[in-house]
Structure 1
Amino acid sequence: MTTSFDTARGAEGIAGEPRKGGVVTWACAPGFPPAVIFPFTPAERMGTRNILEFQALMYRTLYYFGSTGTPDVDYGLSIAEPPRWSADGLTVRVRIKPWKWSNGETMCADHVLFWVNLMKVKGERYGEYVPGYFPDNLTDYGKSADDEVYFTFDKVYSQQWVLKNQLSMITPLPTAWDRTAEGPANARGDLADVEAVYAYLMAAQGDICDEGNEHRTRWADSPIWSVVSGPWRLKSYTLEGVVTFVPNPHYSGPNKPYLDEFRQIPTYSDEEQFEMLRAGRDGAGPVQVGYLPLSFASERTEDPTAGGPHPLEDHYTLVPQTAYCIRYMSLNFNNPTVTGKIFARTYFRQALQSVLDQDSAVRDIYQGYAYRQNGPVPRYPVTGLVSPSQREGAWPLPFDVDRARALLTENGWDTSVTPAVCVNPGTGPGQAGEGIPAGHRLSILLRYVEGRPALTALMKQFKKDAALAGIELRLEEVYGSVLVAEDAPCVPGPDSPCLWEICCWNGGWVYHHPSGEILFRTDAGGNFGHYTDARADELIERSVTTDDPDALYEYQDYIAEQAPVIFTPNFPIRLFEVSKKLGGFEPVNPFGMISPENWYYIED
């Protein structure tokens, strides 16, 4: 869907005339301060806060999605023109608009190839890389003109998939970044230079796993990171975690900012967020944008996509950001202990999914601002891509403690005690499975992000219901960015014990096209737990090589039944609370993006 400048700005009814200038302060969710500014992000830092609320304001991807509130591409806000395909369906050509970088460089084909070359050499360090797919599935690529690139694929793929899941990853990078400590390099044209340039850029941002990384305070003045393509540039980043943006005066795209400044301030718990908002938009340290913690929703809603009565309505409008995403907990299949062997057993994963009471949580914990997540394709916004069986409510693993207990009992566990005990080891019918010894107790460590009362309530109920089936869940709260850094994709080795078990960061994955190769294909960058299944790989491959919806349906029904992750209730990324003095906020982006360049104060 193409959206014009006026449509993007005018989709929301204007209650007053836009006013130029002013500062908007946003109180951010706790636990995940931006850790990576280089938009080639490793899997362990591939989070909404880091990418969609930080990098994307400064460095725009080749294509922009979701500006109208629907999961569609907006060519008007994109750096590239619509892709053009060859008659045989193998080669796609992309023309680059002559946008300017903030240092005066003109956007060009070389800037696209710079990123693609990084992916070609360092793909394993990018969070959305999938072995065998982009750029591994290219037989040729390069520039056909100074402002045009081409990609020739090894076979015919779904053109929607190529646009939404392959080309959508590309973030053009300026020539100013193509250097090492010794001086200019040519990673944009020569793969031999990529390793050194990548090492230089990674070092220039500091240690991305260090919570006290002082490099962040120097990012705004860096000759590297101060060169931006988006509507905003970084003004400052304090050690306390306050991030301040100002407009990029050289931004070439439409929708240039109205505001003078956009500030993101950290919060440390849902309770702190609520108290800041309750103090009022005009109090000391006023906040114009925040979120209503789900645990503070005072009245139930029948529609998780729409705002209703709320305790902050005197000063704020409630705007749910219903994202095109799924939510889940990751299991570490690479854990070298018996726990990893247990996760490899489908019957156990099915039992664990069956003791998570999503429907009660939606009603009693989330006050209706959530919905049951049945499988790997989002139900909202409605797209028609959910399989007919799941659309009609036929989920293979509903809440059923008795069934969970039976699955364990039928596979060699004594569930008369908690934790259950393995009494029938071995690999035959009715036995526990390879690597699970007699006498082993079914006790699993579940670490989850702190500061979220609704999540804590869900975890405590999950622990209680799991115990009824013989599964002991040992709960541990951890600060968000520490959790995802420690419980990251890993391979056991001398420097990586890889001992985490279940990780819940209160999120999951935001999709463009929900074909699953990023999350569930063997060795994919977003496959945090290293799940591997030959049938899943086969179904994923079929779903990306055809636009036939039946391929996507078959894949998602299989994944829902296999439970490679534990699906959790899905809820809006944020229940935004927006000052009634602020306009231009809606429609909200279903991919988790924010657009402060569209926000403005309304003239009284």
Structure 2
Amino acid sequence: MSSARSRSLRLPAVLLAVGLLAAACGSATGAAAKSRRAAPARATAVAGGTATYALQPTDTFNWIFPYESSAGEEPWVLAADENMWMPLYFEGSGNQPTIDQSLSLAYPPVFSDHDRTITIRLKPRTWSDGKPVTTRDVQFALDLLKAGESRVATYTPGQFPDNVASVDYVSRTTFVLHMKQSYSQQWLLDDELVQIFPMPQHAWDRESAGGPVGNDDLTPAGAKKVFDFLYGQSEHLATYATNPLWKVVDGAWYLTSYSAATGQMTMTARASYRGPQRPHLHKVVFDVFTSDTAEVDALRNGTVDYGYIPYSDLGLKSYFQSHGYTVAPWNTDYVQDAELGYTGPYAKFVKQLYIRQALQHLIDERLYLDTALHHTGQLTYGPAPDIAGDVWASPQERTDPDPYSVAAAAKLLDGHGWKKGAGGYLTCRQPGTGARQCGAGIAAGTPLRLLMDYTTPSASTAAQAEAFATAAKAAGVDIVLAPESATTMFSVDGVCPPGPCNFAIALYPLWFQNYGDMSILPIGDAQYAKGNYYGGGYYSPRYQQLLQQAVTHSGISSIYAAEDYLSRNVASLWFPTGDNQISVVSDKLHGWRPQQVFGNWLQSRWYFTKAG
């Protein structure tokens, strides 16, 4: 239910389409191999200390309120929030896409009444000011979500909290959700209950900074005023480290310094924290560098404990391994796809299944994975991540339904009335809605010209976009490439839907959809359901039926059916999915393995060692 729209793999120069992609193929042999070196034999753990973690240049912390805005919904933002405010159910257990019960704020839910009723009991936890976490904090959070749902990035109409009929707050530790109908227990836990973040009602239930704390959330009008106040406070980045609101946390960490200018932030361990995974370190500095070169230099100089190397610098792997570092790709449960514009000037093309299938045939995933991504990542054929050990990808999604073939793409288009004209590009010669005609809204003589936006300065993304456009030209499709900054992509493409979508294709670097930001099941319920925010306005009545089956029936077959339909229907264009990063970690820092499946740092596990 999220978008990693600003993530990029920043290489120093843009590769030149297919030719340079192929030339780079041999440069990353063994890049995915993980170092297995053990810690020094006599190393002992050190209590305290400060570790420095390198964020990538655009991975700035630009939101703090646990209900994220569309612009602030990024995995690194959620990672920071989840270390300060604990979710009811914590997504990702080690390298497995499941709920981590040990880090969850509540005990496993109890379902009854044909799964229409969910009883939830809170674990004993306290806020940083000593007040207990109670169901009043859950009530406050749910009241705010209902009041401000249209501004919350994870909200999809008809889903949580719209599908909740009522809530009973039985005691300070137990509450009961009554759903409007029976749903799959798996879906309720993995995609719905994970959205609940109890919030400190006793500190946040106010309508202004100087106003009194009351019970304003208990009325819809009051809840809206409180939501608007907190949402507005989150827009003031410069006050993140000083605003007393953000000091009241129930997690193990809180923000102690933050620079809105550079994005650098420091999180300090909470001394009074008594929950799971009590921190070993005293502080963690999350540093942001102006370039990959600057970050690699900091690794060389020993001023970064946990950083990364870009794909272009994989040749430095042996250097860092011989200088006291472990190099390990961070494989995450994400999916890379290019968003399609189902509303706006290109909708008449995008809505044609045969055009989407033809475009998919022009994407050489194996080439992109082996070259632009240097063998690091996985092939992607649908909405479910196909990583080792993940049970959610269906058998169909593990094979390519539309393999790379310029000839197959050209045949599809020719069979629907497109013929090459001047310059070798296709124009519609058979307008109409018949089986061998161009399709609704496409007039005679219309050129098959599509605008493709992609984010800079990711050379990996540019290389894939250019290779795709080159293959498309061979089939007669005119792909107009429009490299844009992340900021522009956010402000232009990022507001679609409701649209109109002024693009045919929008490609963001590394990955687009990440399950684990309020969603575990990869059934596309947030990205492609009716009223979606991240699917470019995609809508299919058949998919809605399959989605309804997946969310109301237990078992994996209905989940597979929804995934398979999106895959074969080419709801988005599927691209290979790169790893989160190639991590470079000091051998003095331990506890960071396994790297969490949804990209959470889990810095409470980290600790330094020294020679005994």
| TM-score of the superposed pair, with normalisation by structure 2 | 0.87
Residue deviations 1:266-312 (CA, integer Å, cap 9, x gap):
234444433443x242xxxx11111221233349xxxxxxxxx6553
CA RMSD after TM alignment: 2.3
Q: 2:329 aligns with which of 320, 334, 358?
A: 320
Give a deviation string over 1:365-393, Cα, whole Å, max 9, x none.
222212210111111142333222334x2
Q: How does 1:104-503 map to 2 (within 5 A)?
A: 104-175=130-201, 176-181=203-208, 182-206=211-235, 215-238=236-259, 239-277=261-299, 279-281=300-302, 286-298=303-315, 310-315=318-323, 316-334=325-343, 336-337=344-345, 339-391=346-398, 393=399, 395-415=400-420, 417-491=423-497, 498-503=501-506
Cα distance in 1 between the residues matched to 2:523 and 2:76: 23
CA contact (8 A) 2:321 2:327 kept: yes
Instruction: Give deviations 1:182-205, integer Å, cap 9, x for gaps.
Output: 433435433331211111112112
Q: Distance in 2 between matches of 1:49 and 1:95?
A: 29
Residue 23 (structure 1) aligns with: 50
* Alignment partner, residue 92 of structure 1: 118
The separation in 2 between residues aligned to 1:247 and 1:530, in whole angstroms, is 42
Q: Which residue of 1 aligns with 2:603?
A: 596
**Which amino acid counterpart does residue 154 of structure 1 have in structure 2?**
K
1:90–1:152: 8 Å Cα contact kept in structure 2?
yes
Offset, 1:113: 1.9
Q: Write the letter of the residue equivalent to 1:460.
A: E
CA shift in 2, pair 1:367/1:144, >3 Å: same
User: How far off is 1:535 after superposition?
Assistant: 0.6
Q: 2:82 aligns with which of 56, 65, 74?
A: 56
Distance 1:33 1:428, change over 3 A: same
Letter in 1 for 2:60: P
- Give the Cα–Cα distance (whole angstroms) in 2 for the partners of residues 504 and 139 of structure 1: 39
Given the alignment of the two structures, is residue 576 of structure 1 paired with residue 579 of structure 2, yes or no? no
Per-residue deviation, 1:477: 3.0
- Residue type of the partner of 2:432? G
SS in 1 for 2:240: helix
Distance in 1, Cα, partners of 2:584 & 2:191: 31
Contact 1:414-1:421 within 8 A present in 2 as well: yes
| In structure 1, distance between residues paired with 2:196 and 2:529 | 20
The question of whether the paired residues in 2 share the 8 Å contact of 1:270 and 1:452 is answered with: no
Distance 1:221 1:55 in 2: 16
Cα distance 1:478–1:23, how it changes in 2: closer, same or farther (>3 A)? farther
Once residues 366 and 467 of structure 2 are traced to their aligned partners in structure 1, the CA distance between those partners, rounded to angstroms, is 12
Counterpart Cα distance in 2 of 1:341 and 1:142: 48
The runs of at least 4 aligned residues of structure 1 exceeding 6 Å deviation read none
Residues 562-571 or 449-458, more deviating: 449-458
Cα shift at 1:418: 4.9
User: Given that residues 297 and 311 in structure 1 are in contact (C-alpha distance below 8 angstroms), is that contact kept between their aligned partners in structure 2?
Assistant: no
Does residue 504 of the first structure (1) align with residue 507 of the second (2)? yes
2:89–2:106 contact (8 Å) kept in structure 1 = yes
- Distance of 1:101 and 1:445 partners within structure 2: 50
Distance 1:390 1:431, change over 3 A: same
1:78 pairs with one of 83, 104, 122:
104
**Which is further off, 555-564 or 414-423?**
414-423
Deviation, 1:151, is 0.8
The reply on whether 1:521 has 2:529 as its aligned counterpart is yes
Q: Which amino acid aligns with 1:47?
A: E
Amino acid at match of 2:272: H
Q: SS in structure 2 opposite 1:537? A: helix
Query: 1:83, CA displacement in angstroms?
Result: 0.6
Q: Distance in 2 between matches of 1:12 and 1:123?
A: 48
Contact 2:461 2:508 in 1 (8 A): no
Deviation, structure 1 residue 117 = 1.9
CA distance in 1, matches of 2:199, 2:470: 50
Q: Which has the higher contact order (CA 8 A, sep 6+)?
A: 2
How many percent identity over aligned positions? 28
